Structure formats: C-alpha cells, structure tokens
Amino acid sequence: MKQMLIICLALAVIPSAAQTTWTMQQCMKYAVEHNHEVKRAELELDNYKAQKVGAIGRFLPDVEASIGAQYNFGRAIDPETNGYTNVSTFYNGYSLQASLPIFDGFSRVHALRAAKASVLMGQSALLQSQSQTALNVLQAFTNVAYYEGLVKMAGEKVEETELLLRQTRLLEEVGRKSTADVAQVESQKAEADYELTRQQNLLASALLELKREMGYPIEKSLTPDPSRKEREVNSSVIENFSDGSNCPPLLARGVGGEAVARFQMETAKHEWRQARAEFFPSLSLSAGLNTTYYHTLHSNATRPFHTQFNNNMGEYVVATLRIPLFNRLQTITNIRKAKNNYLKARENYEQKRQELEKLSREAWQDWKGYLKQTEQMAKKVEADSIAYQLTRRQFEEGLSTAIDLHTTSTQLLKSKATLLQCQLMAMVKEQLVRYYKGETIWTE
C-alpha cells in the first residue's frame, strides 16, 4: 500500500511540474491577456463604441417632460382674467415635448460614419497593441532561450576543463606535461568558471525582462521552454509564403498600424464633411402638450385639479428653419482645420504603408538569410568539433600545446553560440513574416 501511495503521488507531481514550463506561444498569449497597453487599448475601443451609440441616438427624437410650481405673493397676473390681483396664488404647469431634426446638411450621417470608422480604428489599434506586445515578448523569450543555451554551453565547457585539468595533472606526474601546461589549463578552467557566472547573470536579467513584457509577477518563478521544433531549419517552408518565384508575400491589410492609419484617415474625412454641413440650412419639427393648474390661497372657490388639468390642456406643432448667415467665420475656420486634419491623416497613412512594406520585405530577406546561415553554421560546428577532438588528442599525446587546445575550444564554443543565435533569429523572423502576412502569431 505504501508503494502504491508513493507511485500515485509521483504521478500526480509529474504533470504539475510539466505545467510549469512555458512555450513561446503561451508566453505571448499570457502577455496579450495581461499587458497594460492592451488593457488601455480595450478601454479606448469601448469609448469609440460609446461614441457610435451616441451618433445613432442623434437620429432619434428628443423627448422631454417638465413640471413647474410657482408661488406668487403680492401683485401678480390672474391666469383666469389676465388682470392684476394682489392675493397670493399657487401656479402649477406641466409640459411634454418631442423634437426631431428633419434636415441638418447630412451632419448626422457623416457623424455616424465617422463614429463607425473610429470603432474600426479602435479595433485595429487593439490588434496592433496585442501584436506589438506579442512581438516584444517574442524578442524577450528569444533572449532567454539564447542565454539558456550559452549557460548550457558554458557548463559543458566547465566540465570539459575540469576533466582536462585532471588529465593534465596525471600527465604531469608521469612526466609527459610540464608545470606550465598545468598552469595554462588551470587558467582555462578559471576562464570557463567566469564565463559560466557571467552567462548566468545575463540569463537572470533576460528572464526579468521577459516577466516585465508579459506582465507576469516578478516574484513568481517562470521557466521558458523553447521547443526544439521551433528552432528546426526547413528552407522549404518559405514556399508556403510565396508564389513559388522566391518573392516575399504581399503585406496584409491591417497590420503594424496600417489599418489604424487608414481608419483614422476615414474618420478625418467624415469629420471634414460634417464640418461642411454647417453651411446648409437645418429644419426641425417639434410637437408638445401643456396644461396648468391655478389656485388662490385662502380661497375655496378654486376649481378642482382634474378639471383645470383637462380644460387647460393645449397642443402645439412647431417647424423651425435655421439658415446660417454669419457666425464670425467660425464655420470656415472649422472646415479649414478639418480639411488639414484629413490631409495629415492621408499623408500619415501613405507613410505608414511604405514603412510597413519596407519592414515586411526586410523580414522576408532576413528570414531567408538566417535559414541559410543556420545551415552553414551547422556544418562549421561539425568541422570545429572534429578539429577540437583532434587537437585534444594531440595535446594528450604531447603533439600540441594548451594554447592550441584553448584556441580550438574557443572557436568551437563561438561557432555553437553563433549557430544558436542564427536558429533563434530565424525563428523570430519567421514569426515576423507571419505577422506581416496577417496571421495571429500568439495562437497555436
């Protein structure tokens, strides 16, 4: 029974331990859900939606009711005779009114279109904020993966130098190595220990930066786990993003702020047209009901409330035509400013489009370049590994010096680090290409 209990506990612990590791997509998804910039973009989008609801409401009639009470003391007008009286009276009025603008130079139409464009701009801004957050986390995740690889390499280097130092000391005892050779290997061992400590510090800093980008609690542990599949090199995958002619994919609409600038231009255009509507006359229609109740204080001759309420009831319909003549050049000023805002938004859109086209092609070229560099560095690592093994064997046989061994070892370590960097950069550039193509990079 005890053995079964231990086995069950072990099986329960293994999945929970496995869940503590975070993949690249998991880190990006967490950041998109918890980043402060994304939260602010969501609130801004809600403001645009509220603005759209307000623009729709302008097409509905405006209905209002009012109740008024008035005490008159001393000389006043008697509502029954329209003559003056000196007695104290109480006056009560009720009114219900509805008004509807019939024509306003299509100002409401352009306001609604501008509000719709603002909502689309807010949605695009939210998507841009999410994408930028994911890209920042991707870069931070890549840095962590890079320094993790360097720490691993530095640890292997420490183990190799420890083993080499023991072998050199044994060879010194039998007279095949000198004291100088031992001192040189000890120097290499100290250098390896220093490099391991330095890379561990850099890894800790990169991990803190990743937590900050994710909005992850600093005090909690986080274990990124870049899978080997993410760093695999497959040049044929480029064909999935092109037409087979080795050309970069077209830039998708709505990425990198392109949609934000486009909808901002649309909003400015409709605001310009809304400003021009002030030149047109406006027509509105109103209708309402009103009634009153009158009572002379300290008198019992006043008619009942319901009698006066019904007898004094009146209805009215009003049509109002407003023709703008002169408002101290305010309309002309507003139109000029709105037009300039539209032209500025159009220039901003064109500039943003060109910049994104350039960045998209650069990401495509960089991706292809890093894939080729990865293949070449893999061959170099293989060749440097063979050279190091041969030099180490020659060192053990006394045919090479510790300096030669250190040179080949350093060259091998540098090649491995460059290979890891190329693999990770290829991964980053691939995600950038997917992003510029219009894909959601923070989902599986």
Q: Give the per-residue pLDDT at 80.
A: 67
Pull the structure tokens for residue 132: 């930028």
Which pairs from 370-375 meet CB under 8 Å and 24+ separation? 370/422, 370/425, 370/426, 370/429, 371/233, 371/235, 371/238, 371/426, 372/235, 373/422, 374/233, 374/419, 374/422, 374/423, 374/426, 375/233, 375/235
With tokens 């305010």, the residue in question is 330
Pull the structure tokens for residue 140: 């931070």
214 C-beta neighbours (distance < 10 Å), count = 25
3 state SS of 85: strand
Helices (H), 215-257: none
290 DSSP β-pair partners: 95, 314
The amino acid at 209: E
Residues belonging to the chain: 444
DSSP assignment letter at 438 = T
Q: Give the per-residue pLDDT at 277.
A: 93
With tokens 């005490």, the residue in question is 71
**Helix 24-34 to helix 36-57 angle, to the nearest 10 degrees?**
50
Residue 96 contacts residue 285 (beta carbons within 8 Å): no
Instruction: Kindly compute the dihedral angle of the four CA atoms of residues 403, 409, 410, 414, in this order, to the nearest 10 degrees.
Output: 160
* pLDDT tens, position by position, 51-83: 999 999 999 999 999 999 988 887 777 666 777
* Alpha-carbon distances, residue 22 vs 207, 212, 224, 442, 444 (angstroms): 12, 15, 5, 13, 13
* Alpha-carbon distances, residue 121 vs 8, 12, 33, 155 (angstroms): 54, 48, 20, 50
Q: Give the per-residue pLDDT at 234.
A: 52
3 state SS of 235: helix
- Determine what percent of the chain falls in helix, strand and coil, rounding each to the nearest 5: 65, 15, 20
Q: What is the DSSP annotation of 62-84?
A: EEEEEEEEEEE-SSEE-TTT-SE
Going by C-alpha positions, the residue among 216, 181, 231 that lies closest to residue 31 is 216
Q: Give the per-residue pLDDT at 257.
A: 80
Those residues with Cβ within 8 angstroms of residue 74's Cβ, 6 or more apart along the chain or in another chain: 86, 88
* pLDDT tens, position by position, 12-56: 444 443 447 898 889 999 999 998 899 999 999 999 999 999 999
Query: Which stretches in the chain have pLDDT values below 50?
Result: 1-19, 244
Those residues with Cβ within 8 angstroms of residue 370's Cβ, 6 or more apart along the chain or in another chain: 422, 425, 426, 429
CA distance 183 to 406: 13
